[in-house]
Structure 1
């Protein structure tokens, strides 16, 4: 329905009503897709002025997990509209929480998004926050809650980020880590390691 309405009406009349529902966390997963749908028509200026101030508190929420899932499914449009500063202050912490999540779908969406912003993440954050979490997910044994696809996606994420990582991070953390990965001859894991 929102796509049929004029964008200015949606921006100035409809969205403010939807923002009021952001105070009720259980309702956010139902309202958030409509808000994120309007981002496709937004300019970065309209986004930062009218939408982002209301969206920032939502980016910090961990419960219910569907909020993070909805945000991660539309992370591409968020990354396109957010400034580098907002990505560092608000999006990277959200991605970090997604890596810590027990929801595999959320972890996989995060692992797919990380390579597109790895140049915006400073080296200490990458070394001390992001890579240890990726390693933790990947080092879980197959029977202890980490599926094969998540472990493969961890390795693919690291492979995509490799060219932007500091040489010492690769030598000190990534290469030794590859030898520690538990596998029982799964072709997908072996190919990703190679």
Structure 2
């Protein structure tokens, strides 16, 4: 089908271009040489990943058997970034795996451990000075955004606890815990007195 071929070609080209930008990817790709992974995305048609020592091919159909079959939703694709957590995700039923789990772990490492120097890549088109300035500005903007987000969270917490009174403040929580502890001690004292009275009666 022309549409399937176009989709797989776009995915294949994009992934191979990303791998080409990472100097360590050939070593990780070598671990998958000769392997076939079937990826079943619940919202789309299955994709087959066929690995060689230099590249990966993405197919809409494949006649041979897959070494591993991975089933998950599109929203769960981000989970593949952490190969060490795959067993936990399977246990939590966030994804299904059949076949050789090492193939899926190697595939996860191949994509999740990409280390691309985007500043260097951009410098090929803009020059070193412009690329460095752009990335420095982006880092500063991200830091500023992070600080503003933290400040907003603090202000919201203060509003909820002090003005709107929708949540207790830390002093109120501590006071409540002290009251509960005192009540527990009083109950123990009452239980002891009742036990002594019961012994005297009997």
Question: Could you say which TM-score interval applies, normalised by the shorter chain?
Answer: under 0.3
Structure with greater proportional helix content = 1
TM-score after normalising by structure 1: 0.23
TM-score after normalising by structure 2: 0.23
Bigger Rg, structure 1 or 2: 2
Structure with greater proportional strand content = 2
